[in-house]
């Protein structure tokens, strides 16, 4: 759906970016901006800045940036039209009715078509489970003690033995074989054409956080049937296993204050049925940083309810590291004597599981306990090696108080003298180059320039151009005083030039909005780069005279870079020579000109 620019601008202006983002994450005021830990990558120190005056956000850690629309798109994992609709509803703006001409139909989002196919497939499976063919599948679910309400809540279904029935149903709904295959519901076979891989299976629809079906998992029914016990949809344009979690569409509304991370579909379903609506599971793959980022949008505390076997322990140790890197705390729920949450719940029940949650083990202490199994504690040399490994792990804590607390807990648990362990940690830190999170101070000239980079000359030119655009963003009144010296052609980076063209034109009209310029770009990286042009850190200067000098220096630097750039190209481009000649004149005049901030 295409929306006129004036409608997009109205929706954006009626959704204050600080108000919208604070509805997703906690913001703290810092000076004229608002800050928080970035919701798009793991960090412990806030580097995500939101500007109310500019209506843009920028993370100085991972580089993400944009306006209120791009934030909603990225956070909600949705398209631009979907984000605009969410924001329009929030602000009470009525969007134009969707009218689909033939041309509009051809332009209709492919994503929406794939979602439509999956939705119809989910309906088909849902009704098959409740029909005559689903008797065996219903018996299986009865044995798993799943109520009808739970089956309905998760949209459970059944893929009949004759898999082609799904294809016939979807074709009758008007979907092509190409689209069915692209949605991950079928594949091409040289002899039989389009065939579905889901047959004689209990089906688990996989939904995104907005309850839209993006894929399926299937549990085989026949003991003699070939194929894996569990089969998932392949990754598609709408199904990225590394960035989605089973049950998250329901768990996101839980008010438990934490999330329980499981390994399988049945674990999640059993947990929800027992009242633990915060349970989620990865989708047939190991836990990923992308999934950690998704969880972090809703909570920072994760309880791991993985299988108690060797593979489960290994997966838990890996997940702990990912959670820690994402800035979240993890605890381990003890499933003993049962293998997984599903078995535990059926045998001991809800109250016993709640007690296990309350006594969940600290993830670091769990890691050390698992590490201990690799050493013979009756052998003095092995025991010393174990202590050295502990010391090395304790060096991972960058904060002194946190590290001291863990030294005390470990010393008490493993009967090591506190001072002895502390000394061992200090020595280990000295050997390995210090504790984690060492802060390196960087001196910066007052102009704000920094010459570091793979190509210092080129990076300095780009940095100067970013600084100039930020100066003009913060002080748009200066444009009238410098427009005779500077033009979009002086920005040698193509994206910067495009931003400057729109920015200068908007300032001339008296309607400059940085957030609106970001929408010139469709690519996420380009949107983030555009946002950086309005948020480059300006030098902290106290007097007007210092500001005037810093601004003048940057203006001269940009003009000089431009002159050198076009002079270098004048041998191969005729137009470049004339730009260089004009640039030299402007540069000479600029060097003699004082630009006042008053």
Residue 27 burial by CB count (10 A; 0-12/13-18/19+): exposed, middle or buried?
buried
Domain containing residue 313:
248-368
The distance from CA 343 to its chain's CA centroid, rounded to whole angstroms, is: 33
Q: What is the pLDDT of residue 278?
A: 95
Q: How far apart, in whole angstroms, are the C-alpha atoms of residue 194 and residue 551? A: 65
In-domain check, residue 447: no
Kindly state whether residues 148 and 271 are assigned to the same domain: no
Q: Is residue 553 pLDDT above 60, yes or no?
A: yes
231 shares its domain with 296: no
pLDDT value at position 353?
94
Q: Is residue 574 part of a domain?
A: yes
Same domain, 364 and 381: no
Q: For residue 389, is it within any domain? A: yes
∠14-19-20 over CA atoms, to 5°?
80
pTM value surpassing 0.75: no
Question: Is the model's pLDDT at 160 over the cut of 90?
Answer: yes
Q: What angle do CA 505, 510, 511 make, to 5 degrees?
A: 80
The domain that contains 179 carries what CATH number?
3.90.980.10
- Tokens, residue 37: 């830990």
> By three-state DSSP, how is residue 157 classified?
strand
Query: What single DSSP character describes residue 246?
Result: B
Q: Are residues 385 and 418 in the same domain?
A: yes
DSSP code per residue over 509-571: HT---HHHHHTT--SHHHHHHHHHTTTPPPP---SHHHHHHHHHHHHHHHHHHHHHHHHHHTT
Question: What share of the chain in percent tops pLDDT 70?
Answer: 92
What does the pLDDT average to over 545-573? 82
Q: Mark whether 420 and 493 lie in a shared domain.
A: no
Q: What is the pLDDT of residues 338-395, one digit of tens each?
A: 998 999 999 999 999 999 999 999 999 999 999 999 999 899 999 999 999 999 889 8
SS3 491: coil
Q: Is 91 exposed, middle or buried (0-12, 13-18, 19+ CB in 10 A)?
A: middle
pLDDT at position 372: 92
User: Which tokens go with 92?
Assistant: 């009470």
Rounded Cα distance between 261 and 233, Å, is: 21
Distances (CA, A) of 271 to 212, 248, 346, 464: 22, 13, 10, 56
Q: Could you tell me which residues come within 8 angstroms of residue 589 by beta carbon, excluding any fewer than 6 positions away?
A: 485
**DSSP string of 366-406, one letter each residue:** HHHHHHHTTS-TTSHHHHHHHHHHHHHHHTT--SHHHHHHH
In a domain, 566, yes or no: yes
CB 12 within 8 A of CB 69: yes
- pLDDT over 90 for what percent of the chain? 42
Q: Does one domain contain both 550 and 478?
A: yes
Task: Identify whether 52 is preceded by a cis peptide bond (ω within 30 of 0).
Answer: no
Angle, vertex CA 263, rays to CA 257 and CA 266, nearest 5: 90
Task: Give yes or no: residues 394 and 497 share one domain.
Answer: no
């Amino acid at each position: 759906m295409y929306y006129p620019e004036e409608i997009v601008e109205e929706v954006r202006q009626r959704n204050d970016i600080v108000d919208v983002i604070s509805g997703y994450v906690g913001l703290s005021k810092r000076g004229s901006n608002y800050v928080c830990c970035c919701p798009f990558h793991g960090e412990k120190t806030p580097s995500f800045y939101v500007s109310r005056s500019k209506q843009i956000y920028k993370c100085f850690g991972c580089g993400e940036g944009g306006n209120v629309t791009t934030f909603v798109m990225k956070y909600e994992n949705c398209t631009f039209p979907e984000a605009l609709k969410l924001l329009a509803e929030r602000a009470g703006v009525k969007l134009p009715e969707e009218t689909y001409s033939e041309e509009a139909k051809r332009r209709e989002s492919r994503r929406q078509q794939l979602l439509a196919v999956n939705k119809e497939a989910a309906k088909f499976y849902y009704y098959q489970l409740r029909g005559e063919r689903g008797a065996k599948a219903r018996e299986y679910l009865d044995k798993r003690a799943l109520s009808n309400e739970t089956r309905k809540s998760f949209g459970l279904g059944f893929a009949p033995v004759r898999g082609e029935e799904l294809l016939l149903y979807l074709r009758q709904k008007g979907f092509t074989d190409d689209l069915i295959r692209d949605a991950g519901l079928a594949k091409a076979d040289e002899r039989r054409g389009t065939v579905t891989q889901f047959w004689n299976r209990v089906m688990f629809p996989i939904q995104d956080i907005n309850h839209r079906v993006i894929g399926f998992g299937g549990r085989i029914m026949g003991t003699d049937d070939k194929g894996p016990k569990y089969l998932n949809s392949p990754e598609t344009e709408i199904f990225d296993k590394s960035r989605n979690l089973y049950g998250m569409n329901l768990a996101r509304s839980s008010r438990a204050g934490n999330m329980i991370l499981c390994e399988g579909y049945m674990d999640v379903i059993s947990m929800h049925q027992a009242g633990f609506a915060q349970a989620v599971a990865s989708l047939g793959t190991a836990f990923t940083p992308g999934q950690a980022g998704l969880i972090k949008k809703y909570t920072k505390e994760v309880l791991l309810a993985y299988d108690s076997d060797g593979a489960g322990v290994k997966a838990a140790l890996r997940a702990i590291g990912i959670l820690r890197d994402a800035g979240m705390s993890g605890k381990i729920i003890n499933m003993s004597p049962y293998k997984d949450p599903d078995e535990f719940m059926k045998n001991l029940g809800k109250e016993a599981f709640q007690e296990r949650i309350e006594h969940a083990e600290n993830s670091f202490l769990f890691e050390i306990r698992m590490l201990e199994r690799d050493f013979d504690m009756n052998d003095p040399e092995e025991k010393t090696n174990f202590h050295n490994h502990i010391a090395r792990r304790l060096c991972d804590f960058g904060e002194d108080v946190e590290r001291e607390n863990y030294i005390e807990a470990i010393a008490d648990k493993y009967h090591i003298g506190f001072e002895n362990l502390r000394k061992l940690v200090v020595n280990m830190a000295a050997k390995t180059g210090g504790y984690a999170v060492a802060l390196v101070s960087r001196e910066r000239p007052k102009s704000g320039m920094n010459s570091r980079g793979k190509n210092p000359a080129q990076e300095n030119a780009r940095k100067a151009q970013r600084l100039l655009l930020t100066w003009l963003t913060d002080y748009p009144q200066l444009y009238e005083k410098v427009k005779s010296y500077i033009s979009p052609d002086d920005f040698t980076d193509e994206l910067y030039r495009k931003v400057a063209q729109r920015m200068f034109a908007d300032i001339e009209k008296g309607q400059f909005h940085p957030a609106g310029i970001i929408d010139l770009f469709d690519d996420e990286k380009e949107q983030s780069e555009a946002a950086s042009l309005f948020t480059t850190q300006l030098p902290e200067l106290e007097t007007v005279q210092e500001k005037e000098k810093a601004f003048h220096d940057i203006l001269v630097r940009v003009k000089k870079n431009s002159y050198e750039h076009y002079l270098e190209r004048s041998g191969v481009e005729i137009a470049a020579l004339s730009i260089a000649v004009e640039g030299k004149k402007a540069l000479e005049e600029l060097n003699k000109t004082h630009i006042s901030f008053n």
